[in-house]
Amino acid sequence: MQNNTLLIVGSIAIDSIETPFDSRKNILGGSTTYSLVVSGENVPTSIVGIVGYDFPKEGKKIFKKYSNNLDDLIISKGKTFSWGGKYLKNWDDRETLFTDLGAFEDFKPVLSKSNQNHSHIFLANIHPDLQQLVIDQSLNSNKIIAIDTMNLWIDIAKDSLHNVLSSSDILFINESEASLLSGKKTIYDSASIFLDLGLKIVVVKKGGQGAELFSNEENIKIGAYKVNVVDPTGAGDVFGGAFISTLAQGGTLSDSLVNGSAMASFCVEGFGTSCILNVSEEELEDRKSNLYSTLSS
């Protein structure tokens, strides 16, 4: 059995992003990519995913650097999944401009022996049927499973998503997705419905307002570290990757909230992964100590 190791399944993408002020074409993205870059710094992290023949060298380097093993990274003959998104003036609303599945269309995660026994699993944003396949192949009976999702899957794959949720321990979800999934207006009512599904922890992400953690025993609130937002893409994936890897390292729920929020604050300061790839230890500690002071329960 492997202790304190993390497996991530999600998307590996080439993104094109437009914000109210600027844009970038064909930059490295995907829910796995964002979460791996932060979790790989904390615990041995492996990934299961697919890229196409066109996946850039710079992306391969990053995956090699942050992954414990790449046994289950498939390099396919198709094109890498690509996604385009546009943020509106208020930053909260995002339009999907295009989704080109490419190699992702036929992707079925298959876990090698080396990846069947991780203590922690992060089901990053991806179709819930693919998340389920990873759960089904994970043999560690004490595993802790965290899941992230998006409005698309709540709209088109709600039953599959419910199945995954009932096998998971921790849910990361933003406020609007929480309402869409639960049918309830407040995050308190939503969280109580999610906990009734068998989840042990629900973390509602509130963007610039911070986040709130719910379990049957406690409710912890955290503020946000204020920064100048350049590109919010991936902040949720970074939050989730930092949260679950801090927990896998033996951190408390508060430590996990603080690290998740601190790393997400770096993420939004630049396009794509540019800022999370260059976090200074000193600046991270500074943001964490600021965020510890915003905790309340």
- Tokens 């603080």 belong to residue: 258
Residue type, 39: S
Among 55, 63, 83, 243, binds ligand AMP (CB under 6 A): 83
**Binding status of residue 52 toward ligand AMP by CB under 6 A:** no
Question: Where are the alpha helices (H) located in the chain, listed in sequence order?
Answer: 31-42, 57-66, 128-137, 151-156, 158-166, 175-182, 187-196, 235-248, 253-267, 281-292
Selected range binding ligand AMP among 11-19, 107-115, 189-197, 249-257, rule: CB under 6 A: 11-19
Q: Restricting to residues 143-162, which ones interact with ligand AMP according to CB under 6 A?
A: 150, 152
CA distance 13 to 73: 13
**Binding status of residue 130 toward ligand AMP by CB under 6 A:** no
CA distance 124 to 131: 8
CA distance 205 to 223: 10
Among 99, 116, 117, 249, binds ligand AMP (CB under 6 A): 99
Residue type, 167: S
Q: Could you tell me the smallest distance in angstroms from the CB atom of residue 125 to ligand AMP?
A: 5
Among 210, 236, 241, 260, binds ligand AMP (CB under 6 A): 236
CA distance 128 to 259: 26
Neighbours of 216 (CB within 10 A): 10
CA distance 122 to 206: 20
**Across the beta sheet with 23-29, what order do the strands follow?**
23-29, 13-18, 82-87, 94-100
CB closer to ligand AMP out of 189 and 269: 269
Q: Could you tell me the smallest distance in angstroms from the CB atom of residue 157 to ligand AMP?
A: 11
End-to-end CA distance of the chain: 35
Residues 6 or more apart from 295 whose CB is under 8 A from it? 220, 221, 222, 254, 257, 258
CB closer to ligand AMP out of 9 and 222: 9
Selected range binding ligand AMP among 23-31, 130-138, 185-193, 212-220, rule: CB under 6 A: 23-31
Selected range binding ligand AMP among 48-56, 70-78, 160-168, 234-242, rule: CB under 6 A: 234-242
CA distance 179 to 173: 10
CA distance 261 to 213: 12
CB closer to ligand AMP out of 17 and 220: 17
Q: Restricting to residues 25-44, which ones interact with ligand AMP according to CB under 6 A?
A: 29-31
Kindly state the number of chain residues that form the binding site for ligand AMP, as judged by CB under 6 A.
Answer: 17
CB closer to ligand AMP out of 5 and 39: 39
CB closer to ligand AMP out of 44 and 210: 210
Selected range binding ligand AMP among 113-121, 138-146, 208-216, 227-235, rule: CB under 6 A: 227-235
CB closer to ligand AMP out of 14 and 202: 14
- 239: tokens are 């939050």
**Binding status of residue 234 toward ligand AMP by CB under 6 A:** yes
Q: Which residues bind ligand AMP (CB under 6 A)?
A: 11, 13, 15, 29-31, 83, 99, 125-126, 150, 152, 233-237
